[in-house]
Amino acid sequence: MILSQFIYTSRPFGFSGPMLDDILTSARWLNTRDGITGALICRADMYMQLLEGPRTVVNNTFARILADDRHVEVTLLYVGDTLERMFPDWSMRDDPPQSWMWNRAEVREGAMQEASSAAAFSVFRRLSCLPPERRAI
């Protein structure tokens, strides 16, 4: 079965630990229900997320994200098809950004919106190779 993968970036509006917990709890429940897997890289100034699953369901999930006022400056970086999930065991893996991610100044200057689809895909490929308990390279 051919699956779709979407990668987007956004800036959080009103970021807090409880808000992130709420996003993850809701995403994990909905994604499990809808057959979506993926990963969310997050910190107080940025989100970068990979969603993968059936195209219609991924489109609907992305539409919900676009309508969610906790996300601003949403930029779609990558849309592609795959036969194999990158995060098959994760309804939504969460991970703080690794040392090779953009710093806060780069995010403010637009690095997320200017990232190439290949660069964004590479970030998640690297994350998919790390065990969940390993948080730094």
CATH 3.40.47.10 assigned to domain 3-128? The reply is no
Q: What average pLDDT score do residues 41-64 get? A: 91
pLDDT digits (tens, 9 = 90+) for 9-35: 998 887 777 877 888 888 889 999 999
pLDDT digits (tens, 9 = 90+) for 69-109: 888 899 999 999 999 999 998 887 776 655 556 777 888 88
Average pLDDT, the chain: 84
Q: What is the DSSP letter of 102?
A: P
Domain ranges of the chain: 3-128
Q: Give, in order, the Cα–Cα distances in Å from 5 to each of 13, 62, 76, 107.
A: 25, 11, 11, 23
Tokens of 59: 């489109």
Asked if 35 and 54 count as a contact pair (C-beta separation under 8 A), the reply is: yes
Q: Residue 20: what pLDDT?
A: 78
